[in-house]
Amino acid sequence: MPELHYSNALEKDYRLHWYTIERVLGQGGFGITYLARDTNLDQAVAIKEYLPTEVAIRGEDLSVQPRTASDLERFKWGLDRFLTEARILAKFDHSNIIRVHSIFEANHTAYLVMRYEQGVALNDYLDRHKFLSEQELLDIVLPILDGLKKVHKQGFIHRDIQPANVYIRDDGSPVLLDFGAAREAVGKARTMTILVAPGYAPIEQYFSNGKAQGPWTDIYGLGATLYRAVAGVASRDAIERSRGLLGSTRDVMMPAIVAGQGRYGEAFLRAIDHALMFNEKDRPQNVEQWEQELNAVGVVPVETPAISAKQDQEPRVRSEPVTRTFTPPPSPAARPRWMIAAVTLSLFLLALIITGFLLLWGDNRSESPEISATADTAEVQGPLTGPVPETGPTVPPQEEIRMEAPENRDVGPDTSEAATTESILTPAMPVEGKQKEAISQEDSVVSADEEQSRQEAEAKRRAEEAKAEIERLLAEQRREEERLTALKEQRRLAEEQLPPEPQELPVVEPVVGKEDQELQEAMLLMQNENYPAAMTLLKPLAATGNAMAQYQLARMYRAGRGVLANNATALDWMRRAAWQGQLEAQDELASYYQEGIAGVQDRFLAYTWYLVLERNGNFTRVNERRALEGELQPEQFPQASYLAQGLFQAQGSTLAPDSPRERME
C-alpha cells in the first residue's frame, strides 16, 4: 500500500537534531504529529510540529513562515504559547497523562517530543466492544481524573477531552493525549481559541472568552465521554441543547439515567448527568468533587435470583455500605458476577428477615407481653454467654428458623452454639405457645412471599415507566430531527428556485439603524463607482464586525477599487466574513484556497469551506467540492467533515481570525 502524502509535512527520513522522521501520525489545523526515531536512545517517539495552517505555511527551505505580514504577530504569539505550555506540561509526570520528553526550536518553529503510546483510541475501542461495564469505565476515567488534578492545579485546562483523545494502551491502562489544545487559564491569555468537538464541548466553549471556563469544562468533556460509552452515541451538541433550554422547553438530550437504565448503577448514571449539566455553575466545580461522586457509586444492578429455602439456611453476614477506593489496575476487568450476586442476595435476605421479625414481634407483644418484655430486656443487656462469633447470625436465631420451609423445621434437637444462646435469651415456652409459634412462622413465610411479589410488581412497574420515558424521549428526538430535515429541505428548494422576473421595486422607508444606513450608502457609492468614498464608509463598519462590509471590503482589495490591490488583505477580510456565516464570503473563500489566491493554495481548506457552504443550505458548489476529492487523502475526509461542523456551529463569532481556529487534531 503506497504511503499517504500530507500537505506541508516533512518527508520521511528527515533529520531533526537526533530524531529521524518515519511517518505522519496526524495533521490538523494547529500542526502535524510525526512518528520519529530517537537515534540516541533507539526508541520511538511522537513529535508535534507547530504549524497553524490558518496563519502559516512551509517554505521552499522547509522552514515555517507566516502566510502574510499581518499574520506574523499571531504566529509569534501562538509559538510563544506553544513553547510555554510545553515546558509546563513537561513537569507533569503522571502515568495517565501523555509524557513530554523535550521541546526544541528549528525551521523557525517549535517541536514537542512526547512518549509514543501504542494502543487504540477510546472511540475505536468502543466501536469494537460496543458497551463496557461500569467497572471498566471507572477504570478508564478515574486514573485520568487523578492526572487532571495536577494539570488543573497549575492553572491549565485541557478543553478538548473526547474519546478520540483518550488512548487505551496495549496493557489496558488509559492515557489522556493532545494537550496541544490546552490554554493557560483565566486572565493569562489574550484570546481563548475557540476549539470545539461537537457533543463533547460545553456551551461556554462556544461563546466565552475563557473567563467562564475552568475544571468544570474538562469535567463536561469526561462526562460526555462516559455518556458515549453508556448510550452508544455522543451526547447532543451544546448548541442544540441551548435552543431547547433557552426556548423554555425541556432539554433535547436524553439523560444518562434513562439511556443507561438497567445496565448501569443509578448513582453512576447520575454522576454522568451531573457532569453534563448545561450551566457550568450546576456542574461539579473541581475534579475532587466529581471523583467523590464516582467513588461513592454502589454495585451494578443485576437480576435478583430466586430465593429457595435451602439458600436461606446459609450463614448470613452483616451488609456494610459499599465505598469504592480506586487503585489503577493493569487492565480493565469487569467485576465478578458471583460477587455482585452475593452482595445483592445478602441485602435481599436481610430485608426479608427483618420484615418477618417485625411481624412476629408485633404478634408476640399482643399475645405474650411477659415474653416480649423479657426479649426487649435481653436485647438491651446483650448476650449473656459472651460475644457471638463474627460469622454467626446477626439476628436472633429464631428468625433463621422462620425462613425455613415448614417441612424442614422439626429435624431434632439443635446443639449448636447459636441454639444454646437462644435457650438462654428466650424463656421456656409451653406446648401451646410453640404451636402458636409454628403458626406464626408459617404466616411469616406467606408474608415474605407476598412482599417478594409486591417488590417484583413494583420493579416491573418502574421498568415500564422507564421504557415509556425512553420511548417518549426518542419520539421527541425524532420529531426534532424531522423538523430540522424539513427546514434544510425548504432551504435547499429555495436555493434551487429560479429568480423572479425583474419588477419595479416599491419605494421603502429608509433604514433607521445608523450602521445599516451607512452600509446602504456604501453600496450605492459602489454602484456609482465612487470607490474611495465607499471605502471610507466600509472600513469602520468592517472593523466593528459587520460581515457584509467585510465581504465588500475584501472584494475591493481584490479588484483594486478605491485602494491598491492587495490579495493578502483581501484574503484576511474574506476569512472574517466567512467565519461569521456570510455565504458569499464562504463561497469565494473556498475559491481563494482552491485557486491559490494570495499565494495560499490549500485544497483541504477549500474542500472544508465548500462543506460549510453546503451545511448552510447552499449546494451550488457541489461539483467543485467533488472535483477536489481526488486530490485529498482518505483520512482527510473525516477531518474536513469534523472541521466543517465546528466552523458551521461557531459561525457568527466576531473573534476570528484573532487566533487559529480551523482545527482538526
Residue 662 has pLDDT above 60, yes or no: no
Look at 243-247, 268-272, 417-421, 561-565 and tell me which has the smallest mean pLDDT: 417-421
Q: Are residues 246 and 350 in the same domain?
A: no
Residue with more model confidence, 27 or 33: 33
* Measured distance CA(664)–CA(418) in Å, rounded: 70
Q: Are residues 606 and 624 in the same domain?
A: yes
Pairing state of beta strands 56-58 and 119-121?
unpaired
Pairing state of beta strands 156-157 and 15-16?
unpaired
* Measured distance CA(130)–CA(333) in Å, rounded: 15
| Predicted pLDDT at 513 | 65
Q: Are residues 456 and 404 in the same domain?
A: yes
Contacts of 189 (CB under 8 A, 6+ apart): 81, 183, 210
- Average pLDDT in the 216-235 region? 92
Domain residues for the domain of 165 are 119-295
Q: Are residues 100 and 134 in the same domain?
A: no
* Measured distance CA(506)–CA(83) in Å, rounded: 60
Q: Is residue 165 part of a domain?
A: yes
Percent of the chain with pLDDT over 70: 64
DSSP string, 542-598: HHTT-HHHHHHHHHHHHHTSSS---HHHHHHHHHHHHHTT-HHHHHHHHHHHHHTGG
Q: Which of 100, 115, 130 is the last residue of a domain?
A: 115
Q: Are residues 275 and 400 in the same domain?
A: no
Q: Is residue 613 part of a domain?
A: yes
- Cell 533529520, located at residue: 15
Q: Are residues 103 and 150 in the same domain?
A: no
Please count the other Cβ atoms lying within 10 Å of the Cβ belonging to residue 403: 20
Residue 35 has pLDDT above 90, yes or no: yes
Please count the other Cβ atoms lying within 10 Å of the Cβ belonging to residue 265: 15
Q: Is residue 301 part of a domain?
A: no
Q: Are residues 245 and 126 in the same domain?
A: yes
Q: Are residues 543 and 631 in the same domain?
A: yes
Q: Is residue 450 part of a domain?
A: yes
Q: Are residues 538 and 585 in the same domain?
A: yes
- Average pLDDT in the 167-187 region? 70
| Confidence tier at 441 by pLDDT (50, 70, 90) | low
pTM confidence score? 0.47
Q: Is residue 321 part of a domain?
A: no
Residue 48 is part of a domain; what is its CATH number? 3.30.200.20
Q: Is residue 500 part of a domain?
A: no
Alpha helices in 296-429 (DSSP H): 309-312, 337-367, 369-381, 397-402, 417-425
Q: Which three cell numbers stand for residue 16?
A: 531533526
| Confidence tier at 457 by pLDDT (50, 70, 90) | confident
| Predicted pLDDT at 20 | 96
| Predicted pLDDT at 390 | 41
* Measured distance CA(659)–CA(76) in Å, rounded: 11
Residue 224 has pLDDT above 60, yes or no: yes
- Average pLDDT in the 235-249 region? 69
Residue with more model confidence, 104 or 428: 104
- Average pLDDT in the 470-480 region? 71
Angle between helices 547-559 and 514-527 (to 10 degrees): 20
As a whole number of Å, the CA-based R_g of the chain is 34
**Cα dist from 470 to 260, 330, 398, 466, 643, whole Å:** 10, 36, 46, 6, 32
Q: Is residue 8 part of a domain?
A: no
Look at 242-256, 405-419, 501-515 and tell me which has the smallest mean pLDDT: 405-419
Please count the other Cβ atoms lying within 10 Å of the Cβ belonging to residue 1: 3
pLDDT tens per residue across span 546-558? 889 999 999 999 8
Residue with more model confidence, 147 or 501: 147
Contacts by 298-303, CB closer than 8 A, 24 or more apart: 298/265, 298/267, 298/322, 299/265, 299/335, 299/340, 299/343, 299/344, 300/133, 300/134, 300/135, 300/264, 300/265, 300/268, 300/335, 300/340, 301/262, 301/265, 301/266, 301/344, 302/337, 302/340, 302/341, 302/344
| Structure letter (DSSP) for residue 232 | S
Q: Which three cell numbers stand for residue 156?
A: 491549565
Contact 332, 139 (CB under 8 A): yes
| Predicted pLDDT at 403 | 38
| Confidence tier at 663 by pLDDT (50, 70, 90) | very low
| Confidence tier at 249 by pLDDT (50, 70, 90) | low
Look at 234-238, 449-453, 495-499 and tell me which has the smallest mean pLDDT: 495-499
- Average pLDDT in the 488-517 region? 58
| Predicted pLDDT at 91 | 85
Residue with more model confidence, 243 or 122: 122
Q: Which three cell numbers stand for residue 392?
A: 454467626
Q: Is residue 315 part of a domain?
A: no
Q: Are residues 370 and 387 in the same domain?
A: yes
Q: Are residues 356 and 486 in the same domain?
A: yes
Q: What are phi and psi of 528, to 5 degrees?
A: -90, 10
Buried b / exposed e across 405-432, counting CB within 10 Å, b at 16+?
A: eeeeeeeeeeeeebeebbeebeeeeeee
Please count the other Cβ atoms lying within 10 Å of the Cβ belonging to residue 63: 11
Percent of the chain with pLDDT over 90: 21
* Measured distance CA(358)–CA(356) in Å, rounded: 6
Q: Which of 246, 270, 295 is the last residue of a domain?
A: 295
Q: Are residues 152 and 106 in the same domain?
A: no
| Predicted pLDDT at 552 | 92
574-578-580 Cα angle (round to 5): 125
Looking at the structure of the chain, the number of domains it has is 4
Neighbour-count burial of 355, counting CB atoms closer than 10 A to its CB (0-12 exposed, 13-18 middle, 19+ buried): middle
- Average pLDDT in the 365-383 region? 37
* Measured distance CA(77)–CA(81) in Å, rounded: 6
Residue 225 has pLDDT above 80, yes or no: yes
| Confidence tier at 565 by pLDDT (50, 70, 90) | confident
| Predicted pLDDT at 109 | 94
Angle between helices 266-275 and 215-231 (to 10 degrees): 130
- Average pLDDT in the 561-568 region? 87
| Predicted pLDDT at 4 | 54
Containing 184, the helix (H) or strand (E) segment is strand 183-184
Residue 197 has pLDDT above 60, yes or no: yes
| Predicted pLDDT at 245 | 59
pLDDT tens per residue across span 331-363? 333 444 444 444 444 445 555 554 554 444 444
| Predicted pLDDT at 46 | 93
Chain centre distance of CA 424: 62
Most confident of the following: 57-66, 176-185, 217-226: 217-226
Q: Which of 115, 142, 177 is the last residue of a domain?
A: 115
- Average pLDDT in the 357-384 region? 39
Look at 19-28, 476-485, 630-639 and tell me which has the smallest mean pLDDT: 476-485
Closest by alpha carbon to 167, among 95, 268, 227?
95
pLDDT tens per residue across span 267-317? 999 999 999 998 889 999 999 999 999 987 654 443 333 333 333 333 333
Q: What are phi and psi of 26, to 5 degrees?
A: -175, 155
Residue 370 has pLDDT above 60, yes or no: no
| Predicted pLDDT at 212 | 79
Residue 154 has pLDDT above 50, yes or no: yes
Look at 40-44, 265-269, 403-407, 586-590 and tell me which has the smallest mean pLDDT: 403-407
Look at 297-301, 534-538, 539-543 and tell me which has the smallest mean pLDDT: 297-301
Angle between helices 583-595 and 567-579 (to 10 degrees): 140
